[in-house]
A and B are shown apart, each in its own frame.
Chain A
Amino acid sequence: MNNTLERGMGAVFFLSAAASILAVALICGFLLVNGLPIIFKTGPLEFLFGLEWSPTDTPPAFGILPMIAGSVYITAGAVLIGLPIGVLTAIFLAHACPKRIYALIKPGVDLLAGIPSVVYGFFGMAAIVPYTGNSILSACILLGIMILPTVTAISESALRAVPQEYYKGALALGAGHYRAVFSVVLPAARSGVLAAAVLGIGRAIGETMAVIMVAGNQARIPVSFLKGARTLTANIVIEMGYAAEQHREALIACGAVLLLFILAINISFSALTRRKA
């Protein structure tokens, strides 16, 4: 009796663990099956590099390059802003921070990660948009803030993983404290910092609500950092409410393209972290 219970629960545990495999398979399957037909109907090149997105015209045009460009620009800008501040904050936390201040700042950084994206969106609408408009720049600033905690946390643990001897060796060679950290410890942690950048990219490219609220959302190739743009994520949320048939399929295809981006980012992230270990 006991033996059956042991074995039965063993099976339950295994099946639970297999749930994540099932989930990934279902997500990829459903997005690809529902999204790929319209891509092939439009022509993959036409779909990915088409300049015009007018899904409700007759005949409709499904070119998502404007949204891909929007996602890429906004993500790049966000990383440009968030990465240096995040890495420097991580250096502060790992190597410059008195214990008492650490106990105040670390929970603050964690809180920054826990604030919902709609709250960021409301903040952006009232605190950033009045200065920079509904624009790529606003989205970059807001997303730069949003990826800060991710970048900081991963960089900090990478910095802490560098053996103390490196730092001490640099001191022994006559470097000052900061000099030792910046020119010896930081380079030694570079794969971790790179991983932080990659994960930051992943967060920024997948962010939806906050971006919608500040980016202007015009579906055209971005013309300037002070003008609006639409990301892949925004495109899905804005139009899914009223989309039907082909239009709906095209939005799901946007999701599939985004998923492919994310998978590529995930793979490079795990390659980066694995090499370190």
Chain B
Amino acid sequence: MKRKRKSSEIILAALTWTAAAATIGILLYLVVFILIKGIPYLTPSLFSFTYTSDNVSLTPALVSTVVITALSLVIAVPLGIFAAIYLCEYARRGNRAVALIRMTCETLAGIPSIIFGLFGLLFFVGALGWGFSVLSGACTLAVMILPLVMRTAEEAILAVPDIWREGAFGLGAGRLRTVFRIVLPAAAPGILAGIILAVGRIVGETAALLYTAGTVAQIPTTPMQSARTLSVHMYALSSEGLHSDQGYATAVVLLVVVILINALSAGIARRCGAKK
């Protein structure tokens, strides 16, 4: 009896440890694999300022990534934060609109990026007539990251103790003043961590951009021009099939960016967790 119990313990322990080791093993394998395949091709010419079909420079894509990310954030961050303020600070309990907003936010969060891409193609590119452009792409991505910004902002705002609000009200501050002077500053780290996660999603996005921002590999000079982000650039390299080594080099850059973003977001989240 005792032996049986012991052996089942050992088997179950082995199972969990193996699975965890597999998860981490896969991650390490993937990272090391990409680094080994990509680093030899990280040449200075890969960072030259212009893209040609011989030298598939990633600098224009890097610039476009920054531009599209900034533009999407400018649209989605205020919307998301304001929406969270409404849900946490303004809406009355049992308000029917709140249930609907929560439900649609959940739905948005579950919609895959290709659907956002199709929607962007039909709405921003087609119906609004913006064509394949930085603006269409950024708006599509703004819709995509809205639920992420909204949810993390909501969590951060809810974590601000009620007693602070009551203190502000007691000192004669109105609701608006309380929100902007007390609640938002206290919630800022949590909101920021969410925004950084959103940046990560934008940087990694391809399917939503292919048919909204298009795939032109030059630096855009106006928001109405087409441009490709790093991820789209990688996909284009792989589907053209001529420069897949440079594709791996681009993957290294993208991977480094993503690792930095994750570390930053986790660091900020940890610091505001520690403060509490």
* Interfacial residues, chain A to chain B (CB-CB below 8 A): 2, 5-6, 9-10, 12-14, 16-21, 23-24, 26-27, 30-31, 34, 84-86, 88-89, 91-93, 95-97, 105, 107-112, 114-123, 125-127, 145, 148, 152, 176-179, 181-182, 199, 202-203, 205-209, 213, 233, 236-237, 240-241, 252, 255, 258-259, 262-263, 265-266, 269-270
Given contacts A23-B146, A176-B9, contact A34 B83 (CB under 8 A): no
**Is the CB–CB distance between A111 and B27 below 8 Å?**
yes
B48 contacts A by Cβ under 8 Å: no
Give the contacting residue for A24; candidates B107, B113, B247; CB below 8 A. Answer: B107
Residues of chain A within 8 A of B41, CB atoms compared: none
Chain A, residue nearest B18 (CB): A88
Chain A, residue nearest B8 (CB): A179
Number of interface residues of B (CB under 8 A): 88
CB proximity of B232 to chain A, nearest CB, Å: 8
Contacts of B85-125 to chain A: CB distance below 8 A: 85-87, 89-91, 97, 100-101, 103-108, 110-119, 121-123
Bound Cα distance from A16 to B235, whole angstroms? 34
**Is the CB–CB distance between B19 and A85 below 8 Å?**
yes
Give the contacting residue for A92; candidates B6, B17, B105; CB below 8 A. Answer: B17
Bound Cα distance from A212 to B111, whole angstroms? 19
B206 contacts A by Cβ under 8 Å: yes
Give the contacting residue for B108; candidates A24, A121, A269; CB below 8 A. Answer: A24
* Count of A-B contacts judged by CB separation below 8 Å: 255
**Is the CB–CB distance between A88 and B122 below 8 Å?**
no
CB proximity of B136 to chain A, nearest CB, Å: 14
Given contacts A5-B176, A20-B150, A240-B121, contact A202 B110 (CB under 8 A): yes
**Is the CB–CB distance between A208 and B122 below 8 Å?**
no
Residues of chain B within 8 A of A114, CB atoms compared: 197, 200, 204, 258, 261-262
Residues of chain A within 8 A of B176, CB atoms compared: 5-6, 9-10
B251 contacts A by Cβ under 8 Å: yes
**Is the CB–CB distance between A17 and B115 below 8 Å?**
no
Given contacts A126-B33, A209-B235, A258-B114, contact A24 B104 (CB under 8 A): yes
Bound Cα distance from A112 to B13, whole angstroms? 24
**Is the CB–CB distance between A266 and B107 below 8 Å?**
yes
CB proximity of B267 to chain A, nearest CB, Å: 10
B255 contacts A by Cβ under 8 Å: yes
Residues of chain A within 8 A of B174, CB atoms compared: 2, 6
Residues of chain A within 8 A of B210, CB atoms compared: 237, 240
Residues of chain B within 8 A of A34, CB atoms compared: 122
**Is the CB–CB distance between B13 and A96 below 8 Å?**
yes
B243 contacts A by Cβ under 8 Å: no
**Is the CB–CB distance between B9 and A179 below 8 Å?**
yes
Give the contacting residue for B19; candidates A16, A88, A123; CB below 8 A. Answer: A88
Given contacts A12-B82, A16-B83, A208-B114, contact A88 B16 (CB under 8 A): yes
**Is the CB–CB distance between A269 and B110 below 8 Å?**
yes
B3-29 interface bits toward A, Cβ cutoff 8 Å, 1 = contact, 0 = none: 001101100110111111011101101
The 8 tightest CB contacts between A and B, nearest first, are: A206-B112, A116-B204, A88-B19, A16-B82, A178-B12, A13-B86, A92-B20, A17-B83
Residues of chain A within 8 A of B207, CB atoms compared: 117, 208-209, 233, 237
**Is the CB–CB distance between A27 and B30 below 8 Å?**
no
**Is the CB–CB distance between A109 and B23 below 8 Å?**
yes
Given contacts A26-B119, A88-B16, contact A116 B107 (CB under 8 A): no
7 interchain pairs, CB-CB under 8 A: A14-B86, A27-B116, A112-B26, A123-B30, A145-B26, A237-B210, A269-B110
Given contacts A119-B251, A179-B12, contact A89 B20 (CB under 8 A): yes
Given contacts A14-B90, A88-B15, A126-B33, contact A21 B110 (CB under 8 A): no
Chain A, residue nearest B180 (CB): A9
Bound Cα distance from A23 to B141, whole angstroms? 12
Bound Cα distance from A34 to B143, whole angstroms? 20
